[in-house]
Structure 1
């Protein structure tokens, strides 16, 4: 009863939340990054528009340096359109809005995917940004995507199942109901659907998943497991493992970033201080870790065997920086903006940011997809760019 009452109170507070005000670019590190992003993405779009009759969605580079394009059903499909929305927000140039609408609406079919737990990423980064930044009426798509995601909610466990246990390489792991820490990021689309419809069922499911993840995904030091497998019939935890990290008991860097961002976002919608506290605890784990390099760009796993001779993961750093700018809005005057600023300063150097005309027209270098799978090692990734641009927007908003 107490939990139900708290959920109801949280939902009512959440429904009263306001919109982000429009702000202007400030002087400093921002103009140079915006100029670089405009140059790179202008070249990226020109390459697509001049060589294809269909909308292409760049994700990364292959081992030969060729741009890899993905279909609408790829989990990363929302990031490139989302980055274009970010550029529109940062520049207020209507040409970017026109392109953002085109590349976003090419993903229309995503809203109906029920086998994909990442519809939150795919629709949130594209259509939700179109609503927030561009004033587009994508409400039906947001709600339908939330309905599709809701089919993956497992009542007994109180969580959203991430991967289908009978698909591809996942089938070999013996899982029944695997949940990955990444899934915290998909909750935003549910919170938004609750706001748009007034239907608290989406809110309740999102809170349930956040609470179960908080309960079962974290160790005593607030590092996160990558995968927790549940029994969908009893709701009990069957195992705690990894898929993309170094080992089951290691701290996969991007997973820690997803967790930090996810619980900061959950506080935005619920005002529940346990989520704010969790974000702070995750921050403390990351930034007191003995294996974090002094430039704050983490190795792909904090416990990888050959540190310091391990690849860095710029995507984890970009996600973390964006999360910290938001965290600073709830705890102003703390260390969070200062840390984010240091990360952004590092990412803006030639060591990590690509020169114009290079890197397949992506912004950032040196990210990692999945070393255990031998995929996307030391390459640009579209989601590293997305969260870097989002971090720039949030930095601007804090400094206006």
Structure 2
């Protein structure tokens, strides 16, 4: 069994070394200079660096990681007071921050904040269509955002449901579970194609909530397969199965995983889109690779699916060899080669979700099973 203790130690040391450089900000995206730009209020990726801090605290017990994580609490407290910031990404934002704090320290204030976030996420549920709408309609309708948002479900939502399942376990309130379960079934039905590929989003009629069509907003084309979207399904469905024990979700997780694993590059890295025209430029996405790797590692921890561990190891080895930045003293993040939004020209970046899942994948392949989702 491969052991990644040395790599884990390198990650922890790298995070500790960058305390001063990152300060109290929440990393959003990093350029070719390997320096972070920080999140604006409410931005969906703000929880991932905090998740890294909690993972490091879980390993070391070093109070500095806990203190760094909690210094960011005002960001998350403010978010819950601003209606236009309440959307389907509340799971990303609060599972890795407040649920993590509560699970590791028993902090009751963190528990209450996470439950408030779960209530807000439950409030996005659309009863007729049985899905959680991605974004609210707001008066600040820049770039026709409301026209995009109305009746919209995103594949990212597979990951956000853990907050609702956790809230059900914590409170016994059945509606948390029922909303998460119903949305998960709807998402599997409409976002996953027969061949195991996925849509990025699915559109419902804004008035009747009747299902309409799938789209792929950040991939190559609507009928292609954006690898980061696929990765949210790989990891998210494995989590959903862990909560529900419904084999339909495990079967769906295996289906999307098997397609992804069959379409990696020779370096065991995810291309930014799995269904590109022949001769297209090969652009890696380390973030999709890290998320997929963590999901495959999680799948390998389920009885009867241990064979997936070998592929998770191959992906982690690929990331370590080709994308790892822990040996670069000037880099503020963990991974290079994140493909943020290729069709807009953002082909290479540091991405905080790539960093978090890289760390989680390392932990899973070192045998850890206790996470914040």
Assess, with a 3 A threshold, how the Cα gap between structure 1 residues 104 and 331 changes in structure 2: closer, same or farther.
farther
What is the CA–CA distance in structure 1 between the aligned matches of 2:81 and 2:308, rounded to whole Å?
38
Offset at residue 105 of structure 1 (A): 5.3
Task: Provide the residue aligned with 1:134 in structure 2.
Answer: 105
What is the CA–CA distance in structure 2 between the aligned matches of 1:326 and 1:136, rounded to whole Å?
27
Offset at residue 29 of structure 1 (A): 4.3
**TM-score (norm. length: structure 2):** 0.90
Of 208, 216, 219 in structure 2, the residue corresponding to residue 242 of structure 1 is 216
Task: Provide the residue aligned with 2:333 in structure 1.
Answer: 362
Q: How does 1:108-123 map to 2 (within 5 A)?
A: 108-114=77-83, 115-123=86-94
Of 174, 179, 187 in structure 2, the residue corresponding to residue 200 of structure 1 is 174
Unaligned stretches of 5+ in structure 1?
1-26, 50-54
Offset at residue 395 of structure 1 (A): 1.7
Whether 1:97 aligns to 2:66 is: yes
Question: Cα RMSD (Å) of the superposition?
Answer: 2.4
Offset at residue 100 of structure 1 (A): 2.2
Query: Aligned with 1:378: secondary structure?
Result: coil
8 Å CA contact 2:53, 2:66 repeated in 1? yes
Of 46, 49, 52 in structure 2, the residue corresponding to residue 83 of structure 1 is 52
Unaligned stretches of 5+ in structure 2?
none
Of 295, 302, 310 in structure 1, the residue corresponding to residue 282 of structure 2 is 310
Q: How many aligned residue pairs are there?
A: 365
8 Å CA contact 2:197, 2:259 repeated in 1? yes
What is the CA–CA distance in structure 1 between the aligned matches of 2:215 and 2:365, rounded to whole Å?
35
Offset at residue 294 of structure 1 (A): 2.1
Query: Aligned with 1:330: secondary structure?
Result: coil
What is the CA–CA distance in structure 2 between the aligned matches of 1:399 and 1:210, rounded to whole Å?
23
8 Å CA contact 2:296, 2:308 repeated in 1? yes
Q: How does 1:202-281 map to 2 (within 5 A)?
A: 202-281=176-255
8 Å CA contact 1:112, 1:145 repeated in 2? no
Assess, with a 3 A threshold, how the Cα gap between structure 1 residues 241 and 31 changes in structure 2: closer, same or farther.
same
What are the superposed Cα offsets for residues 231-269 of structure 1, whole Å, 9 maximum, x if unpaired?
243221122111101000000000111011111111111
Query: Aligned with 2:340: secondary structure?
Result: strand
Assess, with a 3 A threshold, how the Cα gap between structure 1 residues 316 and 388 changes in structure 2: closer, same or farther.
same
Of 268, 272, 275 in structure 2, the residue corresponding to residue 300 of structure 1 is 272
8 Å CA contact 2:226, 2:274 repeated in 1? yes
What is the CA–CA distance in structure 2 between the aligned matches of 1:168 and 1:132, rounded to whole Å?
38
